[in-house]
Chains A and B, each alone.
Chain A
Amino acid sequence: MRQPSAGEALTSALSAEYAAIYAYGRIGVRLTGAARDAARQAEAAHRRRRDALVVQLTTAGGVVPPDRAGYALPFPVTDRASALRLAAEVEERTAAHWRAALASTTGADRDQALAALVEYAVRATRWRKTAGSTPLTVPFPGRPT
Protein backbone atom coordinates (compact mmCIF):
# COMPACT_ATOMS: atom_id res chain seq x y z
CA MET A 1 0.00 0.00 0.00
CA ARG A 2 1.29 3.44 -0.88
CA GLN A 3 2.33 5.58 2.03
CA PRO A 4 0.03 8.64 2.21
CA SER A 5 1.77 12.01 2.17
CA ALA A 6 1.77 14.13 5.31
CA GLY A 7 -0.86 16.38 3.73
CA GLU A 8 -3.11 13.42 2.94
CA ALA A 9 -2.71 11.99 6.41
CA LEU A 10 -3.54 15.30 8.06
CA THR A 11 -6.52 15.82 5.74
CA SER A 12 -7.82 12.43 6.79
CA ALA A 13 -7.26 13.34 10.45
CA LEU A 14 -9.26 16.52 9.91
CA SER A 15 -12.19 14.55 8.49
CA ALA A 16 -12.02 12.29 11.54
CA GLU A 17 -12.09 15.32 13.84
CA TYR A 18 -15.21 16.64 12.07
CA ALA A 19 -16.93 13.31 12.61
CA ALA A 20 -15.84 13.15 16.25
CA ILE A 21 -17.27 16.60 16.94
CA TYR A 22 -20.54 15.54 15.31
CA ALA A 23 -20.65 12.33 17.33
CA TYR A 24 -20.07 14.12 20.62
CA GLY A 25 -23.14 16.24 19.86
CA ARG A 26 -25.16 13.01 19.90
CA ILE A 27 -23.29 11.59 22.88
CA GLY A 28 -23.52 14.59 25.19
CA VAL A 29 -27.31 14.74 25.25
CA ARG A 30 -27.48 11.14 26.54
CA LEU A 31 -25.17 11.83 29.48
CA THR A 32 -25.54 13.66 32.76
CA GLY A 33 -23.30 15.02 35.49
CA ALA A 34 -19.57 14.32 35.36
CA ALA A 35 -19.86 12.18 32.22
CA ARG A 36 -21.58 15.04 30.41
CA ASP A 37 -18.82 17.43 31.50
CA ALA A 38 -16.22 14.95 30.27
CA ALA A 39 -18.01 14.75 26.92
CA ARG A 40 -18.00 18.52 26.66
CA GLN A 41 -14.27 18.63 27.37
CA ALA A 42 -13.60 15.90 24.86
CA GLU A 43 -15.59 17.72 22.20
CA ALA A 44 -13.64 20.92 22.94
CA ALA A 45 -10.36 19.02 22.48
CA HIS A 46 -11.50 17.74 19.08
CA ARG A 47 -12.57 21.28 18.10
CA ARG A 48 -9.13 22.60 19.02
CA ARG A 49 -7.43 19.96 16.88
CA ARG A 50 -9.84 20.64 14.02
CA ASP A 51 -9.07 24.36 14.14
CA ALA A 52 -5.33 23.79 14.31
CA LEU A 53 -5.51 21.41 11.34
CA VAL A 54 -7.51 23.86 9.25
CA VAL A 55 -4.89 26.53 9.88
CA GLN A 56 -2.03 24.12 9.23
CA LEU A 57 -3.45 22.76 5.98
CA THR A 58 -4.42 26.22 4.75
CA THR A 59 -0.98 27.61 5.53
CA ALA A 60 0.65 24.72 3.68
CA GLY A 61 -1.54 25.48 0.67
CA GLY A 62 -3.24 22.11 0.91
CA VAL A 63 -6.85 21.15 0.35
CA VAL A 64 -9.06 21.68 3.38
CA PRO A 65 -11.94 19.23 3.18
CA PRO A 66 -15.32 20.72 4.09
CA ASP A 67 -17.28 19.59 7.11
CA ARG A 68 -20.48 17.69 6.39
CA ALA A 69 -23.94 18.19 7.82
CA GLY A 70 -23.99 14.71 9.30
CA TYR A 71 -21.92 11.57 9.72
CA ALA A 72 -23.03 7.96 9.87
CA LEU A 73 -22.60 6.61 13.39
CA PRO A 74 -21.45 3.00 13.77
CA PHE A 75 -24.49 2.24 15.92
CA PRO A 76 -27.47 4.23 17.21
CA VAL A 77 -27.08 6.25 20.39
CA THR A 78 -30.22 5.71 22.43
CA ASP A 79 -29.13 5.79 26.06
CA ARG A 80 -26.23 6.32 28.44
CA ALA A 81 -24.67 2.92 27.76
CA SER A 82 -24.61 3.34 23.98
CA ALA A 83 -23.39 6.94 24.36
CA LEU A 84 -20.42 5.82 26.46
CA ARG A 85 -19.68 2.98 24.05
CA LEU A 86 -19.70 5.40 21.12
CA ALA A 87 -17.48 7.87 22.99
CA ALA A 88 -14.82 5.20 23.48
CA GLU A 89 -15.22 4.17 19.82
CA VAL A 90 -14.87 7.76 18.59
CA GLU A 91 -11.65 8.20 20.53
CA GLU A 92 -10.17 4.96 19.22
CA ARG A 93 -11.09 5.84 15.64
CA THR A 94 -9.68 9.36 15.74
CA ALA A 95 -6.60 7.95 17.45
CA ALA A 96 -6.21 5.62 14.47
CA HIS A 97 -6.15 8.53 12.04
CA TRP A 98 -3.42 10.28 14.01
CA ARG A 99 -1.49 7.02 14.30
CA ALA A 100 -1.60 6.76 10.51
CA ALA A 101 -0.07 10.24 10.28
CA LEU A 102 3.01 9.17 12.25
CA ALA A 103 4.66 7.38 9.34
CA SER A 104 4.41 10.30 6.93
CA THR A 105 5.51 13.00 9.37
CA THR A 106 8.74 13.88 11.16
CA GLY A 107 9.83 16.34 13.81
CA ALA A 108 7.19 18.66 15.26
CA ASP A 109 4.45 17.25 13.01
CA ARG A 110 5.10 13.74 14.26
CA ASP A 111 5.15 14.98 17.86
CA GLN A 112 1.77 16.57 17.26
CA ALA A 113 0.35 13.36 15.79
CA LEU A 114 1.73 11.31 18.67
CA ALA A 115 0.27 13.71 21.24
CA ALA A 116 -3.16 13.33 19.65
CA LEU A 117 -2.87 9.53 19.50
CA VAL A 118 -1.88 9.35 23.17
CA GLU A 119 -4.54 11.80 24.35
CA TYR A 120 -7.36 10.02 22.51
CA ALA A 121 -6.22 6.56 23.56
CA VAL A 122 -6.16 7.66 27.20
CA ARG A 123 -9.61 9.20 26.84
CA ALA A 124 -10.96 5.99 25.33
CA THR A 125 -9.71 4.19 28.44
CA ARG A 126 -11.45 6.77 30.67
CA TRP A 127 -14.72 6.23 28.81
CA ARG A 128 -14.45 2.48 29.27
CA LYS A 129 -13.86 3.07 32.96
CA THR A 130 -16.94 5.30 33.17
CA ALA A 131 -18.94 2.65 31.33
CA GLY A 132 -17.61 -0.09 33.61
CA SER A 133 -16.48 -2.12 30.62
CA THR A 134 -13.41 -4.35 30.55
CA PRO A 135 -10.68 -4.59 29.55
CA LEU A 136 -9.94 -0.91 29.99
CA THR A 137 -7.16 -0.90 27.43
CA VAL A 138 -6.29 -2.34 24.03
CA PRO A 139 -2.81 -3.71 23.28
CA PHE A 140 -2.11 -1.44 20.29
CA PRO A 141 -4.15 1.77 20.52
CA GLY A 142 -5.11 3.15 17.13
CA ARG A 143 -4.08 0.05 15.21
CA PRO A 144 -6.75 -1.07 12.77
CA THR A 145 -8.25 -4.32 13.97
Chain B
Amino acid sequence: MVLTWPVGIGRTTQRDQTSGHSRRKLLSAGALLVLGGAVTPLTGCDLFDRDDQPAPPPDPLRPMVDESLALAAAYRASATAHPDLADRLNPIAEAHTAHATELARVIGVTVPSAASVAPTTPPAADSNGARAALRALEKTAQQSATAACAAAPAERAALLGSIVAARATHQEALK
Protein backbone atom coordinates (compact mmCIF):
# COMPACT_ATOMS: atom_id res chain seq x y z
CA MET B 1 0.00 0.00 0.00
CA VAL B 2 1.71 3.10 -1.23
CA LEU B 3 0.20 5.47 1.30
CA THR B 4 1.62 3.84 4.38
CA TRP B 5 5.30 4.29 4.18
CA PRO B 6 7.40 2.35 6.61
CA VAL B 7 8.58 5.46 8.36
CA GLY B 8 7.40 7.02 11.58
CA ILE B 9 5.59 9.96 10.13
CA GLY B 10 5.09 11.43 13.56
CA ARG B 11 8.84 11.43 13.95
CA THR B 12 9.63 13.09 10.67
CA THR B 13 7.22 15.94 11.06
CA GLN B 14 8.64 17.28 14.28
CA ARG B 15 11.92 18.32 15.76
CA ASP B 16 15.00 19.43 14.12
CA GLN B 17 16.54 20.26 10.87
CA THR B 18 17.83 16.77 10.24
CA SER B 19 14.43 15.24 10.33
CA GLY B 20 12.97 18.22 8.48
CA HIS B 21 15.43 17.33 5.80
CA SER B 22 14.39 13.75 5.62
CA ARG B 23 10.80 14.86 5.26
CA ARG B 24 11.71 17.04 2.33
CA LYS B 25 13.57 14.16 0.80
CA LEU B 26 10.56 11.98 1.22
CA LEU B 27 8.37 14.59 -0.35
CA SER B 28 10.68 15.07 -3.28
CA ALA B 29 10.83 11.34 -3.69
CA GLY B 30 7.15 11.46 -4.36
CA ALA B 31 5.93 10.09 -1.08
CA LEU B 32 2.30 10.95 -0.70
CA LEU B 33 2.57 12.18 2.83
CA VAL B 34 -0.23 14.65 2.29
CA LEU B 35 -2.57 11.76 2.04
CA GLY B 36 -0.66 9.70 4.54
CA GLY B 37 -1.14 11.62 7.73
CA ALA B 38 -1.82 8.56 9.79
CA VAL B 39 0.60 5.79 10.62
CA THR B 40 -2.21 3.35 11.19
CA PRO B 41 -3.36 1.34 8.18
CA LEU B 42 -5.82 3.25 6.11
CA THR B 43 -9.15 1.93 5.09
CA GLY B 44 -10.64 3.11 1.87
CA CYS B 45 -13.35 5.36 3.16
CA ASP B 46 -11.36 7.33 5.70
CA LEU B 47 -8.76 8.38 3.19
CA PHE B 48 -9.96 11.97 3.09
CA ASP B 49 -11.60 12.02 6.46
CA ARG B 50 -9.45 14.42 8.47
CA ASP B 51 -11.18 13.80 11.78
CA ASP B 52 -8.88 10.98 12.77
CA GLN B 53 -5.72 12.77 11.80
CA PRO B 54 -3.29 12.78 14.69
CA ALA B 55 -2.78 16.15 16.32
CA PRO B 56 0.31 17.91 14.98
CA PRO B 57 3.33 17.14 17.13
CA PRO B 58 4.13 19.79 19.71
CA ASP B 59 6.68 22.35 18.64
CA PRO B 60 10.14 21.38 19.90
CA LEU B 61 10.51 24.86 21.38
CA ARG B 62 7.35 24.56 23.47
CA PRO B 63 9.24 23.21 26.53
CA MET B 64 11.58 26.19 26.35
CA VAL B 65 8.68 28.55 26.92
CA ASP B 66 7.91 26.78 30.18
CA GLU B 67 11.59 26.56 31.06
CA SER B 68 11.99 30.33 30.63
CA LEU B 69 8.92 31.04 32.73
CA ALA B 70 10.14 28.68 35.45
CA LEU B 71 13.50 30.46 35.50
CA ALA B 72 11.77 33.84 35.77
CA ALA B 73 9.71 32.51 38.68
CA ALA B 74 12.80 31.16 40.43
CA TYR B 75 14.48 34.58 40.17
CA ARG B 76 11.42 36.37 41.48
CA ALA B 77 11.18 33.99 44.43
CA SER B 78 14.85 34.54 45.27
CA ALA B 79 14.50 38.32 44.91
CA THR B 80 11.58 38.26 47.33
CA ALA B 81 13.47 36.11 49.82
CA HIS B 82 16.65 38.18 49.50
CA PRO B 83 15.80 41.84 48.90
CA ASP B 84 19.52 42.70 48.87
CA LEU B 85 19.80 40.72 45.63
CA ALA B 86 16.67 42.17 44.03
CA ASP B 87 18.50 44.78 41.94
CA ARG B 88 20.58 42.06 40.39
CA LEU B 89 17.90 39.39 40.05
CA ASN B 90 14.91 41.35 38.78
CA PRO B 91 16.42 42.35 35.41
CA ILE B 92 17.32 38.70 34.83
CA ALA B 93 13.78 37.60 35.70
CA GLU B 94 12.53 40.10 33.12
CA ALA B 95 14.96 38.72 30.54
CA HIS B 96 13.59 35.21 31.02
CA THR B 97 10.04 36.48 30.68
CA ALA B 98 11.07 38.27 27.48
CA HIS B 99 12.53 35.01 26.18
CA ALA B 100 9.28 33.16 26.93
CA THR B 101 7.29 35.86 25.15
CA GLU B 102 9.51 35.76 22.09
CA LEU B 103 9.60 31.96 21.93
CA ALA B 104 5.81 31.82 22.25
CA ARG B 105 5.47 34.34 19.42
CA VAL B 106 7.78 32.29 17.19
CA ILE B 107 5.92 29.03 17.74
CA GLY B 108 2.53 30.71 17.65
CA VAL B 109 1.18 30.00 21.12
CA THR B 110 -0.12 32.28 23.81
CA VAL B 111 2.42 32.71 26.56
CA PRO B 112 1.04 31.29 29.80
CA SER B 113 0.64 33.77 32.61
CA ALA B 114 4.02 34.24 34.28
CA ALA B 115 2.34 34.34 37.67
CA SER B 116 0.93 30.86 37.13
CA VAL B 117 4.36 29.24 37.19
CA ALA B 118 5.57 28.52 40.69
CA PRO B 119 9.19 27.60 41.30
CA THR B 120 9.60 23.95 42.15
CA THR B 121 11.92 24.51 45.09
CA PRO B 122 11.93 27.38 47.56
CA PRO B 123 15.02 29.62 47.47
CA ALA B 124 17.91 28.88 49.83
CA ALA B 125 17.89 30.70 53.16
CA ASP B 126 21.26 32.38 52.61
CA SER B 127 21.84 34.64 49.64
CA ASN B 128 25.02 32.86 48.52
CA GLY B 129 23.14 29.59 48.41
CA ALA B 130 20.32 31.24 46.47
CA ARG B 131 22.76 32.63 43.91
CA ALA B 132 24.51 29.26 43.55
CA ALA B 133 21.17 27.55 42.99
CA LEU B 134 20.23 30.04 40.27
CA ARG B 135 23.62 29.61 38.63
CA ALA B 136 23.08 25.84 38.53
CA LEU B 137 19.63 26.32 36.96
CA GLU B 138 21.11 28.64 34.34
CA LYS B 139 23.87 26.21 33.51
CA THR B 140 21.42 23.40 32.83
CA ALA B 141 19.19 25.77 30.87
CA GLN B 142 22.15 26.96 28.81
CA GLN B 143 22.85 23.36 27.82
CA SER B 144 19.29 22.72 26.73
CA ALA B 145 19.23 25.95 24.71
CA THR B 146 22.56 25.02 23.10
CA ALA B 147 21.10 21.73 21.91
CA ALA B 148 18.01 23.52 20.63
CA CYS B 149 20.14 26.06 18.75
CA ALA B 150 22.25 23.34 17.12
CA ALA B 151 19.13 21.55 15.89
CA ALA B 152 17.11 24.62 14.91
CA PRO B 153 16.15 25.67 11.40
CA ALA B 154 17.86 28.82 10.13
CA GLU B 155 15.05 31.22 11.02
CA ARG B 156 15.17 30.23 14.70
CA ALA B 157 18.93 29.90 15.18
CA ALA B 158 19.68 33.53 16.00
CA LEU B 159 16.97 33.83 18.65
CA LEU B 160 18.09 30.60 20.27
CA GLY B 161 21.71 31.72 20.12
CA SER B 162 20.81 34.89 22.00
CA ILE B 163 19.01 32.83 24.62
CA VAL B 164 22.04 30.56 25.05
CA ALA B 165 24.27 33.62 25.43
CA ALA B 166 21.85 35.31 27.83
CA ARG B 167 21.84 32.27 30.10
CA ALA B 168 25.64 32.27 30.07
CA THR B 169 25.77 35.98 30.96
CA HIS B 170 23.33 35.40 33.82
CA GLN B 171 25.76 32.94 35.37
CA GLU B 172 28.48 35.56 35.10
CA ALA B 173 26.25 38.24 36.63
CA LEU B 174 25.48 35.96 39.58
CA LYS B 175 29.13 35.42 40.47
Contacts and interface: CB of A to CB of B under 8 A. Distances in A.
Interface of A: 3, 95, 99-100, 102-106, 110-111, 113-114, 117-118, 121-122, 124-126, 129, 134-143
Interface of B: 17, 87-88, 91-92, 94-95, 98-99, 102, 146, 149-150, 154-155, 157-166, 168-170, 172-173
A113 B150 CA distance: 11
15 contacts: A104-B154, A105-B157, A106-B17, A110-B157, A113-B161, A114-B146, A114-B149, A114-B164, A117-B161, A134-B91, A135-B91, A136-B173, A137-B91, A139-B94, A142-B158
Nearest to B155: A103
Contact of B161 (A99, A104, A134, A139): A99
A122 B158 contact: no
Given A121-B168, A142-B165, A137 B92 contact: yes
Contacts of A125: 169, 172-173
Contacts of A100: 158
A137 B161 contact: no
B166 A141 contact: yes
A118 B163 CA distance: 10
Give 3 nearest A-B pairs by CB, closest first: A121-B165, A141-B165, A102-B157
B149 A110 contact: yes
A125 B161 CA distance: 16
B99 A117 contact: no
A141 B155 CA distance: 17
Contact of A140 (B87, B91, B98, B172): B98
B158 A99 contact: yes
Contacts of A105: 157
A126 B173 CA distance: 8
A141 B150 contact: no
A137 B154 CA distance: 25
Contacts of A111: 150
Contacts of B163: 140
B161 to A, nearest CB: 5
Contacts of A95: 165
A118 B154 contact: no
Given A134-B87, A140-B162, A103 B169 contact: no
A141 B169 contact: yes
Nearest to B153: A103
Given A102-B157, A136-B88, A137-B92, A118 B168 contact: yes
Nearest to A135: B91
B168 A103 contact: no
B64 to A, nearest CB: 14
Nearest to A121: B165
